[in-house]
Amino acid sequence: MLKLRVRRVISVLVLSTGCSRENSPPPVPEPTPAAPAPVPGHNVQTDTEAAANLTLPSGCSRDLPTRLSAPASTGSTPVSDSNTHMDTPGPVDTMELAAFRTSEGKASRMGRELRIQLLTGRTAVFKDDTTPGMKFALPRYAGYLKAICSHAIHILQYEGSGAYLIVDDSTGDSTIVFGMPIVSPDAKRFAWTSRAGEANYNSSLIEVWGMVGRRPRKEFSFESETWEPSDAVWRDSATIGFLENTHSSPEDPYIQTPARLTRTGTTWILSASPH
């Protein structure tokens, strides 16, 4: 199921060599300051205006390119895009507008284009593709994860709950995951969950990724065939609480059971939550 979902996302997004993929173990080359690697599925436009006194987000100076310029304003304000798939919930535009407010002015929309100003002075552009089927993709801004120096973008697909891109706020490098990242209190990791749903378009997954410099690296992954994880919350920097959702048939309501993930050394252990 997971491999099928990865293939579906890859068919939607044109992945570049400067990106991390969920099932791509080879190391990713570092982009050069003069030409940062493009984010999959979008264009990077060069901004020739240099500006002084660039202020980086707190904790986001890890392995930055040595030459930086402040991003110039696009002169646009976030606007909603009325072009949504018939199965896409109506409030999605309202949700994106709310997410824009977390971006500190770096994210905006112009019609079918989502634009993110990178700290290197370039603009990452994500375009809607309304082709029915596997190519269908609506990139919607999901929030600025300032603690891990990244933007989150929800890629709405023709079926299922879609995927997420974690986009580095400086280089534009991106990583595909299948749930909204939840950052740990020490900002060294993030977790996400995904539920199969009634139509089984998705996988029942819980994963933990660690930040190695500015790059996410998968530390733990578990796919369940008997329960669906949800509502992950970091209890501390080494403990994640979440819910296991089970039912006997689609007609039955879900039964929710508390569970937890605990890190001991370099190992993550699944267990039932204490009462």
pLDDT single digits (tens) 196-216: 876 667 789 999 999 999 999
H or E element: which one contains 44?
A: strand 42-45
Strand ranges in 146-274 using DSSP code E only, listed in sequence order: 150-156, 163-168, 174-177, 182-183, 189-194, 205-212, 215-223, 228-236, 239-246, 255-264, 267-272
pLDDT in tens, the chain (275 residues): 554 454 444 443 433 323 333 433 333 333 333 333 333 344 443 332 322 233 344 456 555 543 333 333 333 333 333 333 334 444 568 899 999 999 999 999 999 999 999 999 999 999 999 998 888 999 999 999 999 999 999 999 887 788 999 999 999 999 999 999 999 999 999 999 999 876 667 789 999 999 999 999 999 999 998 999 999 999 999 999 999 999 887 778 899 999 999 999 999 999 987 75
> Is the Cα dihedral 21, 27, 29, 31 positive or negative?
positive
pLDDT single digits (tens) 68-103: 333 333 333 333 333 333 344 445 688 999 999 999
Specify whether the CB–CB gap between 176 and 229 falls below 8 A. no
Specify whether the CB–CB gap between 193 and 167 falls below 8 A. no
Specify whether the CB–CB gap between 114 and 125 falls below 8 A. yes
pTM over 0.85: no
Q: What number of residues does the chain have?
A: 275
